[in-house]
Amino acid sequence: MLFTLLAFVFALGILITFHEFGHYWVARRCGVRVLRFSVGFGKVLLCHTDRHGTEWAISAIPLGGYVKMQDEPPPGATRKQERESFNRQPVGKRMAVMAAGPFANLLLAAALYALLGLIGTIQPQAIVAAPAAHSAAAQAGFKQGDRIVSIDHSVVRSWNDVRWLLLDALTSGGDVSVVVDSGHGVTHEHTLHLEVGKVDSGKTDLLAKAGLSLSPGKPKVDKVDAGGAGAAAGLKAGDIITAMDAVEHPSMDAVVAYIQKHAGASVSLGILRDGKPMTLTVTPRPQAAKGHARTGHIGVLLGADLPLVKVRYGVLDSLAQGVKRTAETTWLSLKMMGRMVTGSVSLRSISGPVTIADYAGQTARIGLAAYIGFLALISVSIGVLNLLPIPMLDGGQLLYCILEAVRGRPVSEQWRAKGQQVGLGLLMALMVLAFFNDFTRLFS
């Protein structure tokens, strides 16, 4: 719990502080005086005032930060102080300052995605399991062991690419061209026809529903208990099971079920050890189970020998991939929001702080690469959310500036006040829905 909380606080602190630094940096370039830049909220613990009069502070609550600008000139202000006030700036400069925060988050996301490409990540190869009968994948002609090499002319390097490249089509529907390698360099092109799928808070895996799932890999012996039937037969950690009696290429579940059903009987196991094929004979020992039934056990712990690939790019390609991935994620986020309005994406898919904190903890436990990917995704989300034309968000302030530029005069204080009330109501409703979804997932 503490680890998850720390991972969440660190993520939120970094992302929001970077957002506020975007506002600060552009404000300074536009000649606006910044009174305070605070990392965190609440009581100021440490502070330092620079030569520009900006107070740099570290505050008690480490959930982000804020920038306080000089909105209006102070009483008895000099001409210089008037020019440094935010509300006295030309509309173009005010728009630049407002847009800088969200775009800083998008820039950070691009940098994080580029960093992932540069350091490389270990990902499962795009090898598919046998598709379910009558599924879209089965009807298209996919077979177990097919390796996906491209989707709509985009190169596929891993299973992560498959999920990403099909994400949009799985919700919008349509025909997708998929090229697979069926082995020995023989490629086939399949047309995958996808129906419109509804995203419902992650309860339904639309990719699996379409019949595409990752091949579980070959059963692999991870651990052998001394004195067990497996050890007596000569099994060793690292052995890969390729056959059981007449069953070729069994899955891990099939191996377990077969062993359990053959208590006291000899079972011939075909294995690969250091790349060399061998045959061993093991006799599962009967043990009492529920209902007094006796099932076979051989005293080994099985895992999966999953084919993996390291996805890594050069410096320039990493930068290009970072920008591309950020742009695609931004566009997909906007489309998903639009589909929430039409009902093709359920409102239950909206996540709040509890779910985000859970993901922060999970990805941090998996490893640095997973956590960096999480930071990039949330950074895009913060950028997109703040660009929405809702009063109280940066996008709402941009909307006011656009109206001012079109009308030739600022929006009246009366309408601004009404907009603030509407914006506050929308944000409160969104927050209540997000918390409701979080706790529904938590207790369901």
pLDDT at 291: 59
pLDDT on residue 94: 94
Cα 255 from Cα 272, distance rounded (Å) = 15
- DSSP type of residue 268: E
Residue 278, token pair as written in the block: 């061998």
Is the Cβ–Cβ distance between 89 and 73 less than 8 Å?
A: no
| Of 350, 87, 68, 75, nearest in space to 202 by CA | 350
pLDDT value of residue 321: 94
One digit per residue, the tens of pLDDT, for the chain of length 444 reads 788 888 988 898 899 999 999 999 999 999 999 999 999 888 999 999 999 889 999 998 887 889 999 998 888 878 888 899 999 999 999 999 999 999 999 999 999 999 999 999 999 999 998 898 999 999 999 998 899 999 999 999 999 999 999 988 888 888 999 999 988 778 999 999 998 766 665 566 888 889 999 988 889 999 999 989 999 999 999 999 999 998 888 888 889 999 999 988 999 999 999 989 999 999 999 887 665 578 889 999 998 888 889 999 999 999 999 999 999 999 989 988 888 877 777 777 788 888 888 888 889 888 899 999 999 999 999 999 999 998 889 999 999 999 989 988 888 888 888 888 888 888 888 888 888 887 887 776
Q: What is the pLDDT of residue 424?
A: 87
Cα–Cα–Cα angle for 114, 115, 120, nearest 5°? 100
> Which one from 20, 72, 195, 413 is the annotated catalytic residue?
20
The pLDDT value given to residue 288: 74
Its sign, for the CA torsion 385, 387, 393, 399, is negative
Q: Identify the pLDDT of residue 75.
A: 86
Residue 300 belongs to what H/E stretch? strand 300-305
Task: Please name each of the domains of the chain with its CATH number.
Answer: 122-215 (2.30.42.10), 218-304 (2.30.42.10)
Catalytic residue list contains 20: yes
